[in-house]
Amino acid sequence: MITNLRTRFKPTPWIAWIAFLSIFLIIGVTGGVIVLWKGLSVTNLTDLVPWGLWIAIDLSSIALAAGAFSLCAVVYLIGLKEYEPIARTATFVGLIGYSMAMLCLFMDIGRPFKFYQAFIYWNTHSLLWEVTMCVGLYFTVLVLESMPIIANLKWLRTRYPKLTAKMSRVHHYAPYLAIAGLFLSSLHQSSLGATYGVLKSRPFWYKPEMSVLFMLSAILGGISITLFASMMASQLTNKAKVKDELIEKLSKFVGWALVGYFYWRFWSTLSMTYTYEPGRTEGLELLTKGPLAFNFWFGEILIGIFVPMILLLNKKTRSNRFWRMTALLMVVGGVIAFRWNINISGAMIVLSYLPGQPTVTYASYTPSLVEWMVGGGVIAYGLFTFSLGVRYLHVVDHDMIEEEHVPVNVKVPQTARA
Amino acid sequence: MSKLERRDFLKLAGAGAAGLVGMQVMRPTAHASSGAEAGEQQWAMVIDQSKCTGCGHCTLACRAHNDISPEISWNEVIQVEPVGDKDAFLPRPCMHCEHAPCVDVCMVGASYYRSDGIVMMDYDKCIGCRYCEIACPYQARSFNWEKFDGENPAVPEWGQPEVERRPRGVPEKCSFCYQRIDRGLAHGLTPGVDPDATPACVVACPTGARVFGDLNDPESKVSKIINSRPTVRLRDELGTAPRVYYVLATPEAFEEAEA
């Protein structure tokens, strides 16, 4: 029996990869159980820095999921049909990103099993209400958009052919779903920035351009991770097939978008240097000279924006697969660094409320072991699901031609036709 | 794509945007507690800094009456920079802002205004996202990182619990002892005058540094002080309009208080 198993069990890179991720998944689940059992006291979060690593992961995964709405809009609304296979990948990446964010939030809220109350009790004035509603609705849109992808599962196809046929037919409504996706995503991607931007209590966050920065960086990061993941998958397995010229064209767009993002990020930072503003100036120093300086200058600006901008705008490096992948990965890293920096820099600056004492104190935060365990688990879940998707759902397959979706019929008045 | 004209899409987007703008315009009438919608009474507190000796009795009485964990203070007494050669303190309850950032940001509406101006927490609605903690400029909120299930060391020396303990995973804060106000009013007492209807910290203060009462009543002690003496509100420039007023200490005021 054992020898039989041994002969049948051949370690392949695939199995090694899955085993590697499973270790992190098990650690993550363990961490999750500890959090649910012991409560948030196992984290290093405090009343002054109540949002930490998990929020950074949650913000990053929502940002990196933004490729779904941007590329679906490109394909179904602007009508650049040739990018449809990439939009398919982006949709699946989006589904993973949002589920990662929701997993992370489930861990992060004080009463996880009351999460549904966020949908029952409404304070329409709250930015987080808007984000919650949009994320909930958009996740539904993503599930619908992913139906035709999930219908590719061979096992499901052979067993329930009628069901998968129905699931595939959802694709007919792709343009409508793209409209809903664009609408909901534009709302909550920017509102995530505004969540911080409206807080007068934390002067370093209190600025309107937070929404713009979040929106722009999300589109950049979302497209970049989709392209990177597609290329990576095609390098590692023949289950993934990519059309390099499509990816190259989109990468060029990413390059130009980086120019815009660079301008905004730099402008937003520079405009804060003009006069002394209690709290804000200290926040800026923290970011540009203090403990976050490496993250900011190296992670965000140099590696996150500047270098990939050059690599992607220069035709020579862009057409080289290695350099293009490197650049795209850098963009993803830059967006994550941005999310981390924004969250932590604002939280660390605490402005005194004592009369006549506009003094600033610095809070500190280092994630605890359990936070890393859960965070690692959530990331492993994302990689795990994507890997399964590549292998069994053909999420990266640029040769696959989707069924034609029904064109959107806009009723034309009789007079106009005549 | 072909049949969905860009124009139509823009129309759709425009309609959506108009809807959102509409929501924003409607907002102020929807929740503001100030002005016409406000109830008959508007509770406020005045704290005379020159009378505060930093003894911390208020914090202990607060912990007992509201059954608070010793790790948490709804009413922190902070030592501030000395005034002249005297130690100075600043007790900090919840400011019960008229425009409270915590109420604005709470996604489930667990933080809300009572018609008497008290900013309340509905601990059942709260899911524990801690957005209110970040939004509060006064650090008046404390999160229950752990369940408080031990004995309360402040009980019975400093009073008896009057409200339920909060569960793990929600932020909690001062409520102006709403339970004492409500029960007192039901028995025909006057909050701010009768100790049984007045917040526990005000009653416990041995030097009378705290005064509580109705802003709408020109004869109340708080109205009289606010109308006759210079008072400040913390971080007033933020526009939160706190309902806790401070009479700041001056060297002369200290001497007067001691005399």
| Domain contains B68 | yes
CB contact under 8 A, B101 and A51: no
Q: How far is CA A390 from the centre of its chain?
A: 18
- Judge whether B84 and B254 are in contact, CB under 8 Å: yes
Total count of residues recorded for chain B: 259
User: In this predicted structure, what is the pLDDT of residue A406?
Assistant: 54
Tell me the pLDDT of chain A averaged across its residues: 90
| Domain contains B131 | yes
Model ipTM over 0.90:
no
CB contact under 8 A, B104 and A126: yes
Please identify every stretch of chain B with a pLDDT value under 50, giving residue numbers as ranges.
1-4, 9, 16, 18-36
A residues 156..175 contacting B (CB < 8 A)? 175
Distance between CA atoms of residues B58 and A114, nearest Å: 34
User: In the predicted model, what is the mean pLDDT of residues A289-312?
Assistant: 94
A178-229 per-position pLDDT tens digit: 999 999 999 999 999 999 999 999 989 999 899 999 999 999 999 999 999 9
User: In this predicted structure, what is the pLDDT of residue B84?
Assistant: 85
What percentage of chain A carries pLDDT values higher than 90?
73
Q: Please, which residues have CB within 8 angstroms of residue A140's CB and are 6 or more apart in sequence?
A: none
pTM for the full model? Answer: 0.87
Q: Chain A residues with CB inside 8 Å of B168's CB? A: 39, 110-111
DSSP state for residue B199 in the 8-state scheme: -
Per-residue pLDDT at A401 exceeds 80 = no
User: In this predicted structure, what is the pLDDT of residue B256?
Assistant: 72
With cut-offs at 50, 70 and 90, classify the pLDDT of residue A1: low
Domain A19-400, CATH: 1.20.1630.10
Domain count, chain B: 1
Domain coverage including residue B221 = 38-258
Cβ neighbourhood burial of A415 (10 Å; 0-12, 13-18, 19+): exposed
What percentage of chain A carries pLDDT values higher than 70?
94
| Domain contains B249 | yes
Helix (H, G, I), strand (E, B) or coil at B142: strand
A180 → chain B, closest CA residue: B13
User: In the predicted model, what is the mean pLDDT of residues A316-321?
Assistant: 94
Among the listed residues B189, B52, B34, B137, the one whose alpha carbon sits nearest the alpha carbon of residue A203: B137
DSSP state for residue B205 in the 8-state scheme: -
Helix (H, G, I), strand (E, B) or coil at A275: coil
Q: Is A117 left (phi over 0), alpha (psi -120 to 50) or beta?
A: alpha
User: In this predicted structure, what is the pLDDT of residue B85?
Assistant: 86
- Asked if A117 is an interface residue toward chain B (Cβ–Cβ < 8 A), one would say yes
User: In the predicted model, what is the mean pLDDT of residues A374-380?
Assistant: 97
User: In this predicted structure, what is the pLDDT of residue B3?
Assistant: 47
| Residue of A343, A354, A411 to mutate, testing the B interface (most B Cβ within 10 Å of its Cβ) | A354
| Domain contains B71 | yes
Which CATH number goes with the domain that contains B191? 3.30.70.20
With cut-offs at 50, 70 and 90, classify the pLDDT of residue A11: confident
With cut-offs at 50, 70 and 90, classify the pLDDT of residue A357: low
Per-residue pLDDT at A275 exceeds 90 = no
Q: Please, which residues have CB within 8 angstroms of residue A288's CB and are 6 or more apart in sequence?
A: A269, A296, A297
B residues 21..60 contacting A (CB < 8 A)? 23, 27, 30-31
Across the A:B interface, residue pairs with CB atoms under 8 Å apart total 155
User: In this predicted structure, what is the pLDDT of residue A2?
Assistant: 58
User: In this predicted structure, what is the pLDDT of residue B35?
Assistant: 39
DSSP state for residue B166 in the 8-state scheme: P
Distance between CA atoms of residues A307 and A312, nearest Å: 9
Query: Alpha carbon of B237 to those of A283, A355, A358, B27, B78: distances in Å?
Result: 20, 11, 12, 22, 21
A residues 13..32 contacting B (CB < 8 A)? none
A residues 383..412 contacting B (CB < 8 A)? 407-410
Per-residue pLDDT at A273 exceeds 90 = no
Backbone phi, then psi, for B255, in 5-degree steps?
A: -65, -40
User: In this predicted structure, what is the pLDDT of residue B22?
Assistant: 44
B143 → chain A, closest CA residue: A47
Find the CB nearest A353 among B138, B141, B147.
B138
| Domain contains B9 | no
